[in-house]
């Protein structure tokens, strides 16, 4: 038994074969409380399934990563709509195969479309998703996919009634190769049972490039609701928690008094039935870093730990997708730049087959609820300097 376990870990360390399995079946062992769903290994190219999809709302550049993921998975981009002429022109240049629709209604009422993707202004995403589901289509949305607890309650209600997919693309896990690789390693038992995750989400503010809505709390939902939602998703996934609560949270605007509704710092302590978690998010990435943020994830296990440097290694290695694994035998570095990304293909298969291989609806909503609860109950950080 021990020999088989070691063989599995070695295979996960040296091949990509464990990656698709990790994201399809969840974490193994006593910590894994998610349903097991078996699918063939998914390569980073279209599989047997295909869909037609369209886009409504391109207010954040994340839409490009979302569209590319669906296209990789077998999606055909049909049409798009944006109120803003400049954003529409940029999108059309990138995807000339897509028709510019004249209204949201034109896309919503197109019965040949199975999925609508959106990266609209955050406060508008849940209302749009509700309309999408009521029109019999599935919905893929940028994070934060929902900005208030009231929105969450309505989305849950409509999703239950329509049985459509409401999926949030938590790209820091699903579109980061090193984080996907970590899923395979944890599943293989490389660090034993997961005890805690520590997720750090620093961002560069690029203040002069931000649209006006970026600085209004009612538009973006708050810093934990927004960029903190990535960390909630990773906490649940890696600890295998199906129940969780917010033990403590705080937010603050410590450096931008000219934008009184903005929040530039937040942190959260989490408790789950599969492990503990800590989250820190901020808008303080200095201009001297050659990335928008030194995003990190540490996964502590009973037999070792994994640290992921998602975007940059300030120690000198080029690029991103760096993974470090420490166990009782050694410290290893794994370059994950060639690991496949399988979310897009899994989502397309889910849409066609009505399955939940990319992400369960329960997980999606629980990660969102944690972010919203942490934002709602956060104490105010007031630094006197």
248-276 per-position pLDDT tens digit: 999 999 999 999 999 999 999 999 999 99
Q: Is residue 340's pLDDT more than 50?
A: yes
- Check residues 354 and 382 and name the one with the higher pLDDT: 354
Least confident range of 200-209, 228-237, 314-323: 314-323
Q: Is the pLDDT of residue 36 over 60?
A: no
Whole-number pLDDT of residue 140: 98
pLDDT at 5: 47
284-294 tens-digit pLDDT: 999 999 999 99
- Whether 13 maps to a domain, the answer reads yes
What domain range is 335 assigned to? 2-38+172-343
Average pLDDT, the chain: 90
Please state the rounded mean pLDDT for residues 347-361: 97
Using one digit for the tens of pLDDT, what is the confidence trace for 103-132?
A: 999 999 999 999 999 999 999 999 999 999
Residue 248, pLDDT score: 98
Question: 6 and 25, same structural domain?
Answer: yes
Quote the crossing angle between the two packed helices 149-162 and 122-134, to the nearest 10°: 20
322: enclosing H helix or E strand: strand 322-327
Residues in a beta bridge with 356: none
Same domain, 299 and 268: yes
CB 310 within 8 A of CB 149: no
Domain boundary among 169, 184, 211: 169
Do 131 and 88 lie in one domain? The reply is yes
Q: What is the pLDDT, as a whole number, of residue 291?
A: 94
The residue among 136, 169, 202 that closes a domain is 169
Mean pLDDT of 221-245: 98
Is residue 30 domain-shared with residue 156, that is, in the same domain?
A: no
Would the pLDDT of 24 be above 90?
Answer: no
Q: Which uninterrupted H or E stretch holds 127?
A: helix 122-134
Quickly state the pLDDT bin for 47 (edges 50, 70, 90).
low
d(CA 108, CA 101): 10
Least confidently predicted of 42-51, 187-196, 219-228, 266-275: 42-51
Domain count along the chain: 2
Q: What is the DSSP letter of 137?
A: -
Q: What is the pLDDT of residues 201-218, one digit of tens each?
A: 999 999 999 999 999 999
Q: What is the pLDDT of residue 165?
A: 98
pTM of the entire predicted model = 0.87
361 inside domain: no
Question: Dihedral of CA 299/42/143/368: which sign?
Answer: negative
Domain end point (choices 141, 169, 197): 169
The CATH number of residue 27's host domain is 3.30.360.10
């Amino acid at each position: 038994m021990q020999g088989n376990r070691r063989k599995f870990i070695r295979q996960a360390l040296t091949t990509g074969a464990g990656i698709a399995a990790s994201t399809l079946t969840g974490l193994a062992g006593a910590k894994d409380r998610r349903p097991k769903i078996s699918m063939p290994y998914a390569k980073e190219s279209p599989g047997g399934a295909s869909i037609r999809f369209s886009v409504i709302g391109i207010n954040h550049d994340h839409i490009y990563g979302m569209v590319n993921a669906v296209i990789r998975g077998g999606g055909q981009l049909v049409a798009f709509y944006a109120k803003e002429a400049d954003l529409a022109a940029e999108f059309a240049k990138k995807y000339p195969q897509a028709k510019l629709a004249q209204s949201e209604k034109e896309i919503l009422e197109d019965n040949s479309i199975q999925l609508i993707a959106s990266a609209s202004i955050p406060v508008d995403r849940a209302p749009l998703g509700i309309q999408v589901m009521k029109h019999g289509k599935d919905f893929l949305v940028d994070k934060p996919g929902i900005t208030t607890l009231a929105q969450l309650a309505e989305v849950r209600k409509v999703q239950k009634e329509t049985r459509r997919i409401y999926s949030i693309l938590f790209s820091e896990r699903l579109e980061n190769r090193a984080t996907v690789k970590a899923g395979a390693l944890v599943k293989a038992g490389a660090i034993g049972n997961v005890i805690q995750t520590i997720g750090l989400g620093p961002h560069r503010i690029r203040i002069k490039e931000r649209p006006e809505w970026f600085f209004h709390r009612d538009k973006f939902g708050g810093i934990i609701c927004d960029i903190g939602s990535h960390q909630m998703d990773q906490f649940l996934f890696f600890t295998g928690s199906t129940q969780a609560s917010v033990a403590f949270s705080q937010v603050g605007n410590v450096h931008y008094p000219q934008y009184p509704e903005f929040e530039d710092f937040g942190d959260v302590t989490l408790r789950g039935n599969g492990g503990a978690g800590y989250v820190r998010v901020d808008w303080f990435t200095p201009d001297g870093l050659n990335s928008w943020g030194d995003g990190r994830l540490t996964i502590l296990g009973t037999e070792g730990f994994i640290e992921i440097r998602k975007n940059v290694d300030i120690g000198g290695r080029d690029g991103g997708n760096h993974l470090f694994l420490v166990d009782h035998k050694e410290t290893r570095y794994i370059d994950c730049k060639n690991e496949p990304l399988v979310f897009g293909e899994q989502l397309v298969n889910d849409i066609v087959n009505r399955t939940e291989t990319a992400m369960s609806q329960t997980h999606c909503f629980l990660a969102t609820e944690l972010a919203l609860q942490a934002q709602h109950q956060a104490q105010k950080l007031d630094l006197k300097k």
